[in-house]
Chain A
Amino acid sequence: QKEVEQNSGPLSVPEGAIASLNCTYSDRGSQSFFWYRQYSGKSPELIMSIYSNGDKEDGRFTAQLNKASQYVSLLIRDSQPSDSATYLCAVNQDSSYKLIFGSGTRLLVRP
Chain B
Amino acid sequence: NAGVTQTPKFQVLKTGQSMTLQCAQDMNHNSMYWYRQDPGMGLRLIYYSASEGTTDKGEVPNGYNVSRLNKREFSLRLESAAPSQTSVYFCASSDPGLGTEAFFGQGTRLTVV
Instruction: Enumerate chain A interface residues (CB-CB to B < 8 A).
Output: 3, 6, 8, 32, 34, 43-46, 49, 51, 88, 90, 92, 94, 96-104
Contact = CB atoms under 8 A, between A and B. Distances in A.
Interface of B: 31, 33, 35, 40-45, 48, 50-51, 56, 58-59, 90, 92, 94, 96-97, 99, 101-102, 104-107
16 contacts: A32-B99, A43-B90, A43-B104, A44-B43, A44-B104, A49-B101, A90-B43, A92-B96, A94-B96, A96-B56, A97-B96, A98-B48, A98-B56, A99-B45, A100-B45, A101-B45
A99 B45 CA distance: 8
B45 A98 contact: yes
A43 B102 contact: no
Contacts of A94: 96
Contacts of B51: 97
Contact of A99 (B40, B41, B96, B107): B96
A96 B90 CA distance: 20
B42 A99 contact: no
Contacts of B56: 96, 98
A88 B104 CA distance: 13
A43 B23 CA distance: 14
Nearest to B54: A97
A96 B50 contact: yes
B104 A99 contact: no
Contacts of A46: 101-102
B102 A34 contact: yes
Given A32-B96, A98-B58, A101-B42, A90 B102 contact: yes
Given A43-B90, A88-B42, A97 B48 contact: yes
